[in-house]
Structures are given as structure tokens and as C-alpha cells.
A and B are shown apart, each in its own frame.
Chain A
């Protein structure tokens, strides 16, 4: 069987999934996440689902058998905030620039290619013009199964991504997708709408600028006011629509507003928050808007006050794995960063451990770190800063599944759940550990060669967060 697998691997250079009826990985260490790890056990996968798991599970007669001796099976990793599958999109929602501290831009996606909207969006003269808003966009409708990043990301062990449109203030609704290299994008979609991605910059839309030249909004407070007005409008819109549905006679027909429709459809909102000040601000804002919120970025979540606020606010947090890095400087440069910035760079990777300790529900997200080696290193940095491996795995599996309300089908190795698995040789996130195979919806993939090597295809789409 092993030979067969190897032969198949040779045959289809990469990216082609094997989809046998059933697969049994036996004699492997199984990290179920939902329960205790099984030192030596078997996982049976059939029809894309986990049929059985345990230390004493019989191998079905029709199953392909993978000898798991020396291997560890983990639930497939979930990238809690990504743009994978949306070609030309921003490289996942980057949270702020490099460095940190005062004056650092609020968490905002870095946009590589200007959106077509940048040219076409007319100047906005106020909230009524719905600037930088595509709240109705659904990632599921944008996804292209041909996006090469799907394979790259999957090779790091990521089987599922919450992928979002990220351009604009109300960028649109994210979808939870399985990273299969299918032909139809629809096959990939687990949940079409998991939440509205909100950024506090116009991100890719024209205008901006604090002066008079750009359109509304041109400031942070303008953006916040706009978001606030949208939710007031949405509530009013719903009220009027309901009244009209109840009895249209004698009542003027309410005008259809797709921006508000998109907002009303969204189950939850994602708000950017890196600094402590932003975390405080966004927690209050979410409470005011009465929207279930997920904060993303969380660079300063290492600060005790931040973890405390998050715990108290009960919000879920997505921590960017793109740790702040020092800027490139020549040796004779006299410029030093501020203590605040230095401290942030030193401590940011300790944020996950701090959140874990405080009991805050959090997940990690790649923030544009696509290359497997960089991804692994980024997670390792969190481990080096106090996060246990167990908690790191959880923050990339069951926790994001819980945050997006899909823990009944994803995030752990349990009978009946979707068969998304990562099989490694060695402990996951260690430098020398190799991802041996990945199962997505029961389909087996082998990782592509790491393309971070020189000459390799595709650097990460933004500055790598690895140890440069």
C-alpha cells in the first residue's frame, strides 16, 4: 500500500488528490484535540468523513491502509482569516504595518493590486453614498479553485480557511472553505457566510486622505461614524421592511439597499484591533453596535490589560501570525525604534500564551504567511514565547471551529466530523517536522515542495513573517 501511495505520488506530481473509498491510518499517534491524544491508534476515513477513531478500531477490508508508525495525525489546520481562493485579493488581512506602537496604522489589510472599484467608485459625500462598501459580496461566490495559493497553504497543513473579501470598510462576507483542488469552487464551501469583514481603512478604494480632496470617510473617526450610521440605518431599514411586509397598503415602498442587506445577512463582524487602545475601542464599539464580534490583529494582546479586557468583553480574537519585525537598517543607522515599538516586537509573539492564560477564546491566522516553512516558524515563535504545543494546535483547529460555529463538523478528530487531517513525522510546528500528507474532505494530498527556496515559485505574497 505504501508503495502504491508512493507510486501515485510520483505519477501525479502534486496537487492531485487521491480519493479512495476509505482510508485507514493505523499505528499512528492521534491528537484528537477534543479528547486526549491516542498514543497508538487508528483513524478511518470514508466518504470525506471520519468513520472511526480510537486505539482499538478495526481496519475496514476495503480501506487503503497507511502505516502510521512514527506519524502523528492532527485535525486539519484552520486558517481563521485568509483570502486564499480569492485571486488578486489582498494577501490575507494583514494587521497593520511592520513595527508597532503609536502612529502605527490601525489593523488594515495590505492591498497588492488596486481593486477595480478604485477607479470606478465615485467620490462619496457622506454615509448615504455607502463608500467602500461591498457588504453583499460573498467570498464563496468569488472563490476560484484554481488559485495556486490553495496548494501552498494546504502544504503547511491548512485544510480549511475562513476566507474573506478584504477590500473596503464593509468588505463583504467571508466563507469557510475546504482547501481541495477541485474543479468546482462550490465543492469547497463549508459555510457560505461566516461574518462581515470590516476594516477601518478604505483599503483599495479610491479617495481617502485627510484633506478635502478625497471622499468620505477620510479619517478613523469618519469611518467609525460611517459604520455606526450603517447599523442605525440597517435597524431602521429592517423596521420599515417589516412594517411594509406586515401591511403594505398606504405605505411607501422601502427602497432596496444592498449595502444594508449585506450587513443584515452577516452573522458576526470582524473588527481590526492591534494596539491595546484599539482592542478597548473595538470591544466598546462592538458592544454599542450589539453585534457579535471577532477582533483580528491582536498584536498588543500580550499586555495584561488587553487580555483582561478581552476576557471581560467575551470577544473572540484572531491573532495574526505575522509578528512585527525590525525594519531593514544599515549598521550605522542611528535611528532606534521607540521603547514601545521594541517592546511590541519583543512581546507580540507572547500574545497567544497570554490569551490562553487569561482564558480568552482565540485562534491564530496566517495574515499572508502562505509558505509552509514561514508558517511553521511563525507558530514556533508563539511556542517559544510560552504557548504550549497543545494550545497552539487548538488555536489552529478546534478554537477557530468554535469561533465560527462549526465545531460540530470541524476542528477535532471525532467520529462523524469532516475528514480534514494533517499527518506529520515529528511534532507539528517543529523545525524539522515534515508534513507527510494532508486529508481534506477525505481526499489525500501530499505537500508540494517548499517554494520558499530561491528560485521557487512565489514568495509569500507579503513580507514573510519568518525569522529574517
Chain B
């Protein structure tokens, strides 16, 4: 009942969403970038945070939100999803991740984002206002339902807002990262459980086909050589392009690689084990590219190196099973703490559409197992904004930044906390979705 009332309130708010100017009054602001400010006002104008001050006079036509006892946080960012690309994970027709082809840097996740996906309203009501959407987040490739062949570069991940009429409107950065699936030495691969029943299992590339022993090692080295060769070819192309010799022919694959080679676009590298991370770093050094490590299962020995080279990490699901029987039961719960203690910059990703709305709770689990709270909150707000190069616009509640804000009745990492108001690019978002509609319908059956 309580919820229903909240929703009805929101529905009314949604009606007023066209208003460009909102004044949130008497609210506690948790900006992430600095200390909390109690009982202040926040002015949203033209999609931006126009002002934060103890007292702000409401501009003409501004809608005033009385928010005593409520809190303002920056919208949360999930650094690993397939949102917009995958609707029902078990249904091939509704899934557009995992294209065929070994090296597909020219693919852009953004253009396949379905703005009408039911997932967007579901995740944003929990305060997730932007996400990285990957062309193959689980490291899958080569046709997720097809051949399942090895894929190395799956395409360009996009940073998008979880609201917008078209993917162009949703775009924050269509080329936020190139996705490289680093080979694995094989052996025990695969993530622990935590997958929904009957879900397509996530597969660590290379693990399945690895014959073990020397074979696996050879395959591993061959695959790295193959990736190097591709990068080398791209570099040759880059030179030829600069020279603009007669007969030069544009190649879309290599064109897509140029921002990577120029160090303008980071490469998101899926690497699970510490040794793979080490090898990925070595590869990045050799190729002189910027990388972000995705979904490591361990930090271990790679920690010092990651810190020294200032390479950020996107931690995968915190709520995951340990890999081996001997691993501590809380291995994945404590990984964020380990990353933090190693001084590694990190953010969280859920890497499964179904769990995106639980991003804050995964961060909370990390807190339970030793990650300082502020770091956890940062890892779903400002840290990802920094990692993806948008901290000038997103990730904190600061004057001049994009007004991606949530107004809550408590700590957003706490399950019971309710989001009372949500703003994406300054627009108040209705806190409704397919699920709330079904709820209302059947509560009143």
C-alpha cells in the first residue's frame, strides 16, 4: 500500500516531467566528491545541476520538491552490462550480443540498443542512471548461440543513459571502450554459480576448448600472437593512412582501431586470472594502449602492477561463488577489499542484465567484507565516471554536472532504501515500469 502511494505520487510527478527546472529543497546532499551537505537545496536547470546552496530562491516556473529528510546522491553507473542488447537472455531473437568474427572492432553496441527495452525502466528505478553496454559482456563471442568460436575483439562498448527516446539521445559516449577478450590459459575457467536458472552459462573464452597442459599453453601463446598481429596490422594501416599514399583504401576494421592506437579509446580487457592480467598489461605496454581490466576473478600478484601502471579494474559480480573448492567461501565478497588495499582503481559491473538493478547491493556486500563504505559508493558513481572519462559530467553531485540524481529515503546501497525521485539529464523520471504496472494490475484483481 505504502508503495502504491509512492508510485501514484511518482506518476503525478511524471506528468510534470517536462519541466526543465526543479528545485529540491531542504535535502541532504551526498555528493561523493566531497562531504555531505545537510539541509541544502539543489537546483536543476537545463539538464544540469545549476546550483547547490543552503538557500536557493526558486526561479520562475521551477517545480519545487520538498525533500526534508531525504537525500540526494549521484546517479549510479554500472560498468558492465548488456542493457539494450539483450532482452530475454535465453531467446536468440532477443539477444544482440556476441557477433561472429574474431576481430570486430568496427561493431558498435550503441546502434543495437533498443531504447524500449523493458530493462531500462526496471534498472533505473533503483537509481542506475547510466551503464556501459558491452557487445559481449560475459566474454562470449563468435555468436552467442551459434558456433561459440573464439572471439578476441567483440566491438565497441557504449556508455549510455538508461533513459532516452532513441539511442542517440541515450548516448554518453558511443566509443567508450573497445572490448578485447583476452585469451585464457584454460584450466578451470568459468564463473561460479549465481546465474539464473536455465541461463546461458557464461563461458570464459578459451577455457572450454583448452586441452590442458602444454596444449593449452601453446594455444594461449598462439592466441596472444594473433591479437598482436592484428594490432600490428592496424598500426601499419594507421601509417599508410597518415601517408595517404595513392591507392590507399579505407578499411573499417582498422579505422575503428585508430582511436585505440592513439590512446584515445581505452580497451576493456576481459581477463580472469592474475597471470592473464599480467600478460594483458604486458600486451598493453607493448602496444602502447590504454586498458581497463574487466571482471577479474583475482587480483593477487597483479595488484601492485595495476596500481603502478594506474590501470583501472571493473570488478564483476561480488555475489559469486568461489572458483575452486579450496577457495575461501568469501573469495568474491572480499575481492573489492583486495583491490582497494592494493591501491587499484576500480568500479563495479554486474555483467548480466538481470542483476543490474542489484548493483548497489553488490557494493554493499563488498562493504560487509571489508571495503570502506565511501569506496563502495564511489565505485558505483564517481570512480566509473573517471574510468570512462566522463567525470567532468557525471559521477557526483556538483554544480555544472549533468543532473543524473536520485532522491532517496536513505543509503542507496541498502536494500530497503526507496528511490523517491529520479532525474536523468535533469528530467524527472517516472518510477514505473512493466513490473510496477503488473503489480498494480494484479493487486487489484
Which residues in A have some Cβ–Cβ distance to B below 8 Å? 101-102, 327-330, 332-335, 338-340
Contacts and interface: CB of A to CB of B under 8 A. Distances in A.
A335 B187 contact: yes
Interface string B196-227: 00000000000000001110110000000000
Interface string B305-333: 00000000000000000001110000000
Contacts of B420: none
B275 A334 contact: yes
B325 A340 contact: yes
A329 B214 CA distance: 7
18 contacts: A101-B325, A102-B325, A328-B212, A328-B213, A328-B214, A329-B212, A330-B214, A330-B216, A330-B217, A332-B217, A333-B187, A333-B213, A334-B187, A334-B275, A338-B324, A338-B325, A339-B325, A340-B326
B212 A327 contact: yes
Contacts of A327: 212-213
Given A329-B212, A335-B187, 20 more contacts: A101-B325, A102-B325, A327-B212, A327-B213, A328-B213, A329-B213, A330-B214, A330-B217, A332-B217, A333-B185, A333-B213, A333-B217, A334-B187, A334-B273, A338-B324, A338-B325, A338-B326, A339-B325, A340-B325, A340-B326
A206 B77 CA distance: 51
B188 interface: yes
A316 B324 CA distance: 35
The range of chain B's interface size is: 10 to 19
A295 to B, nearest CB: 25
Interface of B: 185, 187-188, 212-214, 216-217, 273, 275, 324-326
A199 B414 CA distance: 52
Contact of B213 (A330, A334, A340): A330
A334 B273 CA distance: 9
B193 to A, nearest CB: 14
Chain B binding surface SS class:
loop
A330 B325 CA distance: 22
A108 B213 CA distance: 25
Given A330-B214, A333-B217, A339 B326 contact: yes
A128 to B, nearest CB: 31
Nearest to A334: B275
B206 to A, nearest CB: 14
A340 B217 CA distance: 25
Contacts of A328: 212-214
A330 B185 CA distance: 11
A328 B216 CA distance: 12
A211 to B, nearest CB: 12
A327 B216 CA distance: 13
Nearest to B217: A330
Contacts of A335: 187-188
Contacts of B213: 327-330, 333
A102 B324 CA distance: 11
A101 B187 CA distance: 17
